[in-house]
């Protein structure tokens, strides 16, 4: 019953979003572990099993640790139907994994420090700024910025972010980022922006240059003074572990 309620809440949320041919999602699992070495040892087995059970449903998967001590596992899925399948089958697949790998499953469970928070996010296509040859596995560092905006100003916020990026390109500010909107697990006026780079050192070396260009742009600074105000609720630095 809980699974049915979860699915209904997800698709009710999705129904309020404008349709396009194929929508892109990721399913995020957040938790903490007591011993990262234990996680690193067992996760490849769990990940291989998950990929096999979700063949044709899940497009990609990546795991990160963060400087706040959190663990982020992101599963990327294309299409509403596949999202439904992934969520509907998650509990069953977890049970099958425990049956097939009881010792590893027990060790992973005992290593979890607290519960899991799970959420679903849809990509805002207009706010994806990646090259055509972008490959997720080529970038081991990610900064995440999670923010909320007034629920009645979400469309204006998205247009504003697109305009800001156009200004940044004009002044020579470039970076890799995608922005996603929550559909389940967080309030639906929550956005997460994921910025990728080779390392935290590379990111912040380039960041200093970007900030200097922004500081010297009157158009950029004028645009910052107007428009929708957002509330940043989380900043975190992620390092890819698998």
DSSP letter string over 160-228? HHHHHHHHHHHTT---EEEEEEEEESS-TTEEEEEEEES-HHHHHHHHHHHHHHHHT-HHHHHHHTSS-
Provide the residue range defining the domain that includes 160.
123-240
Same domain? 113 vs 160: no
pLDDT digits (tens, 9 = 90+) for 189-214: 999 999 999 999 999 999 999 999 99
The number of folded domains in the chain is: 2
Report the predicted TM-score, pTM, of the whole model to 2 decimal places: 0.88
Cα separation, 86 vs 66, in Å, equals: 25
Predicted confidence at residue 37, as pLDDT, reads: 93
Residue 187 has which token pair?
């309030």
Same domain? 68 vs 165: no
Pairing of strands 176-184, 58-66: unpaired
Q: What is the mean pLDDT of residues 105-134?
A: 95
Same domain? 71 vs 22: yes
């Amino acid at each position: 019953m809980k699974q049915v309620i979860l699915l209904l809440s997800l698709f009710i949320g999705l129904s309020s979003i404008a349709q396009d041919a194929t929508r892109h999602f990721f399913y995020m699992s957040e938790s903490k572990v007591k011993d990262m070495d234990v996680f690193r040892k067992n996760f490849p087995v769990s990940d291989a099993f998950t990929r096999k059970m979700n063949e044709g449903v899940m497009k990609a998967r990546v795991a990160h640790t963060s400087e706040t001590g959190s663990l982020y596992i992101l599963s990327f899925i294309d299409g509403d139907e596949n999202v439904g399948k992934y969520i509907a089958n998650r509990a069953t697949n977890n049970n099958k994994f425990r049956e097939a790998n009881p010792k590893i499953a027990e060790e992973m469970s005992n290593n979890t420090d607290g519960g899991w928070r799970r959420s679903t996010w849809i990509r805002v296509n207009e706010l994806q700024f990646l090259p055509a040859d972008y490959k997720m596995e080529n970038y081991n560092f990610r900064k995440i910025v999670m923010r909320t905006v007034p629920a009645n100003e979400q469309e204006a916020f998205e247009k504003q972010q697109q305009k800001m990026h156009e200004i940044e390109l004009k002044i020579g500010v470039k970076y890799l980022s995608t922005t996603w909107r929550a559909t389940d697990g967080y309030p639906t006026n929550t956005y997460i922006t994921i910025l990728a780079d080779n390392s935290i050192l590379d990111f912040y070396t380039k960041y200093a240059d970007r900030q200097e260009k922004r500081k010297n742009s009157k158009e950029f600074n004028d645009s910052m003074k107007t428009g929708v105000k957002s509330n940043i609720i989380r900043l975190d630095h992620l390092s890819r572990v698998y």
